[in-house]
Structure 1
Amino acid sequence: MPNLVIELGEKFGRLMNYGDGVYGGQFVGGMYAEAFFEKDMDKIVRAGLACVPKGSQYHECISDVIKWHSENPNDWQKTWHLIEAKYQDNPDYRKASCDKGDFNIDAKINGAYIVMGLLYGEGDIDKTIIISTRCGQDSDCNPSNAGGVLCTMIGFKNLPDKFKSALNPNGKFSHSPYTFPKMIEVSAQLARDAVIRQGGRVEKDAEGKEVFVIAAKTPKPSKLQQCWEPGPIAGSKFTDAEMKKIKYISAFPIGKSFPGWRITACGKKMNPGLRDAFGGKKNVLVTHPVDRETGSKLFGRISIPKNKKTTLKLVVGHHPKGDWELIVKLRHGKELLRTPVSKDTAKDGWLETEVDLSKYAGKRVRLELINQPTGWHNEAGYWSKIKIVSE
């Protein structure tokens, strides 16, 4: 019932995904649907692929893995390197990735790793799971999906005992009221409903056992939607003209709190922006590095008066479970300060520091204040004070 899979992807997948993110669920669902009736894993993978619109990078990715497997049937690591080169290192295939570095939970590459386990696992459950796990990235979901599709093909009663002997019939799944037997019961009822909805029927054989008569249908994939071209926002209350007036945190002045300064680069993690209060301070600006290598930048043009001592005074903080590096530098020029902002340097979570700018007296300088990442864990920068003092 591939079209039911596609329908469910449109209903539930779109709660938090679009484009390739939806197609990933439809692809895996399509494989599950086929695995009940097919013993050839290549055909199962192709059945899942038939649920994905051609022209999408997801379809291209799975097609590549099928092709590379046929060219390198005994060397999964060679195929892994081919996947890495195209779908990890090539920016044309990372347009919608939430992270542009080594971390990659994009749907395409993780779908590829599911298929790696299924094709190179050769019907062996352990081998299938191990290969999908060793491929990396989202390596809890990928081996689970690969193992699930394979075990569906094998059938529960045919599974080796080590894969089912520890099932506790009385234990409930976390955050749910379901035991394993209850889950099977509910799933079976949903399957009966699905068969009927898709034009089939449920009958009884001569022994009184249920038989599902399923209407065979050709998959009709969803309309093609590229991840980097999501289209208009559904239900938006803003007109196109109004949307163009909205300025994002990647480049905007910081208002009355930090006059003369503006953010010229900022990531989206940890909800950056102005806070009424944080860590006992009021009017705190939160920034976050763009990626693992690129810091968030604040920029200001500062006129340094003659015959006065001028100092840049800063009070900056860190997340209780994170740290970062503060860099002050002339734009396209000399670095003036580099210091860690961590529990070791920041008393009560806040570091007070200053930079003497007196040597630039009589000049107008362009300063950059950088929230530089150090370990990519709670790397937000918290800015309580950015002030130029001349005396």
Structure 2
Amino acid sequence: MKILSIIAISILLAGSKEASAQQKAEEWSGKSISLSQEDLKDKIKGGWAGQTIGVTFGGPTEFRFNGTFIQDYQPIVWYDGYLKKTMEENPGLYDDIYMDLTFVEVLERAGMDAPVDSFANAFAYAKYDLWHANQAARYNIMNGIKAPESGHWRNNPHADDIDFQIEADFSGLMSPGMPNTAVQTGDKIGHIMNYGDGWYGGAYVGAMYSLAFISKDVNYIVSEALKVVPAQSTFYRCISDVIRWQKQYPDDWKQTWMEIQKKWSEDTGCPEGVFSAFNIDARINAAYIVLGLLYGKGDFDKTFQISTRAGQDSDCNPSSAGGILGTMHGYNKIPAYWKMGLKDVEDMPFKYTNMSLNKVYEISYRHALEMIRRNGGTVSEKTVEIKPQQPKAVRLEQSFEGMFPISKTPFSKATGENEFSFDFTGTGFVLLGNAAAKKSGSPDYILEADLYIDGKKAETVKFPTTSLTRRNELFWKYGLPDKKHSVRVELKNPHADYELRTWSYLIYADKPVNGMAGFK
């Protein structure tokens, strides 16, 4: 076994910019990479600290700039004490942290081989708020649809959303230099709530974290990690475009942002994002992570600013970019400006958890040591030797293939209506709405309704009125014959104090109907 010293590795990784990712992978083949345990711990701390800083910094702009970037003159605040203030006053902002911590806690309690149900039940029955794919998965799990079906696009209209992408950090932080191990760790967890591009977003982010332990070349990390994603997927093509555009416009991130917007801003799945500037799709938000990393060139200021100013999910994107950069540089090299107030919050448990930053630093470090041993590396008194892995693509899966949104029709039904219906022509639909109490302060209640399609009962669905266990959309059905259909909903247990509200219905066809389709 050949062992490269940390000095030799540094020379190797900081070498000629002309060296290709393939050349670097070949140079590592069959060799071990040596890191001091202090450096390993420092990088793990940097990863957790970086993502916490990033999500806090971008919090005020989250989904306030959709379909546009944030102008240079728009101030984004950062000051000593801001971290503590935000953690105390806006704990729901940290969903990408407390979901991560939930999975870390399961690994700590049940071991590295914990079954998928342990992870699924841990977050499904937690008391924190969730949204989009996570909330849809929570509802599915609580109503008998287990993973991976809980994340499949036929059962989860949010399958391509950003959810696992923002909570896959833990998988890379426990898999230093081992991107395939990071992906494998996240596979069963990511499919609890996502599928297709939604799953690939988490696989990609986990792989970037993993490679950030062994390289200080941002271009290498971004490009090499993409190899875990199948080249035929739309996620791969999107990120490949961003890498290409950055080379074409090396000094103009806004021009690359424009190219991303032109080609990749359409959303097919998320009912809130279709026919809207709002876009929580994993693919385009991953593009903004990469935008920040490539144009930031390893600089924290530029990386945080660009990944935030790209807009859309502009707290989660700098969180991922900052965590990857923090892993690459290490905690001690995060600039003092960005660590202002960090010491004040490192012993504070994130709300809804028993886990603080200081606690997860230590737990992730132990998990990393175990994963190093499991994958052919060694742990000595002061160093670790890692067997680096060449990234391998996972299986191909794509959500919503052959589905084209053709209309979203306002449809408002509520008080006093225990039955309602509509007709449409197409291959699928989503009925948007919710169950709610008519008066604030009413106790929780579960409405039940039957769905009929073309006169035949399709399913009976429960609708909790509490936000914690809500169903994101009322009904949906994909893959229907391309013809005219009738949809009817009958409320089974009407109650004078509660109602099933509808807002609109989204229709899909098996081909575009807009005359502009294809004019790209």
Give the Å deviation of 1:136: 0.9
Give the aligned partner of residue 369 of structure 2.
192
1:104 lines up with 2:279 in the alignment: yes
Per-residue CA deviations over 1:328-347 (Å, capped at 9, x if unaligned) read xxxxxxxxxxxxxxxxxxxx
Whole-Å separation in 2 of the counterparts to 1:214 and 1:258? 62
Could you tell me the TM-score, scaled by structure 2's length? Answer: 0.46
Tell me which residue corresponds to 1:247: none
Distance apart, 1:84 and its partner CA:
0.4
Q: Which residue of 1 aligns with 2:220?
A: 43
**In structure 2, how many angstroms separate the alpha carbons of the residues matched to 1:64 and 1:97?**
23
1:61 is aligned to 238
Give the 3 Å change call, closer, same or farther, for CA 285–146 of structure 1 in structure 2.
closer
Secondary structure of the residue aligned to 1:67 is: helix
1:178 aligns to what?
355
Give the gaps of 5 or more residues in structure 1: 231-249, 295-391
Deviations 1:268-301 (A, max 9, x none): 34343544335537xx65322136xx9xxxxxxx
Report the AA paired with residue 268 of structure 1.
Answer: L
User: Compared with structure 1, are the counterparts of its residues 28 and 266 closer, same or farther at alpha carbon in structure 2 (3 Å cutoff)?
Assistant: closer
Letter in 1 for 2:431: G
Alignment partner, residue 286 of structure 1 = 501
1:79 matched to 2:252: no
Any residues of structure 2 matched to 1:282-361 within 5 Å, and which?
Answer: 286-290=501-505
Whole-Å separation in 1 of the counterparts to 2:246 and 2:433: 37
Q: Deviations over 1:72-107 (max 9, x none)?
A: 011111111110011114xxxx33344212111111
Deviates more, 1:13-22 or 1:213-222: 213-222
**2:212–2:325 Cα contact (<8 Å) kept:** yes
**Which residue of structure 2 lines up, in the alignment, with residue 267 of structure 1?**
431
User: One-letter code of the match for 1:136?
Assistant: G
Structure 2: distance between partners of 1:257 and 1:155: 59
Identity of aligned residues (%): 40
Q: Aligned partner of 2:432: which letter?
A: K
Q: Following TM superposition, by how much is the alpha carbon of 1:197 offset from its aligned partner in structure 2, in angstroms?
A: 1.7
* RMSD, matched Cα: 2.6
1:128 matched to 2:343? The reply is no
Indicate if the aligned counterparts of 2:419 and 2:490 stay in contact, CA closer than 8 A.
no
How far apart are 1:266 and its partner, in Å?
A: 5.5
Which has the higher relative contact order, 1 or 2, with Cα contacts under 8 A spaced 6 or more apart?
A: 2
Contact residue 266 and residue 288 of structure 1 kept, 8 A: no
Provide, for residues 365-390 of structure 1, a one-character-per-residue CA deviation record: whole Å limited to 9, x for no partner. xxxxxxxxxxxxxxxxxxxxxxxxxx
Residue equivalent to 1:228: 400
Partner Cα distance (2:497, 2:354) in 1: 42
Larger radius of gyration: 1
CA distance in 2, matches of 1:15, 1:65: 28
DSSP-derived class of the 2:269 partner: coil
Alignment partner of 2:230: what SS? Answer: coil
Distance (whole Å) between structure 2 residues aligned to residue 154 and residue 229 of structure 1:
40
By percentage of residues, which structure has more helix? 2
Task: Quote how far apart the aligned CAs of 1:151 are.
Answer: 1.6
Higher relative strand content: 1
Output the CA distance in 1 between the equivalents of 2:298 and 2:496: 55
Question: What is the CA deviation profile of residues 151-196 of structure 1, one whole-angstrom value per residue up to 9, with x for unaligned ones?
Answer: 2111111221222342234322222212322211101101011111
Residues 126-147 of structure 1, C-alpha deviations (whole Å, 9 max, x = no match) = 2111111111111111011111
- Residues 9, 23 of structure 1: 8 Å contact kept: no
Does the CA-based 8 Å contact 1:266-1:287 persist in structure 2? no
TM-score calculated relative to the size of structure 1: 0.61
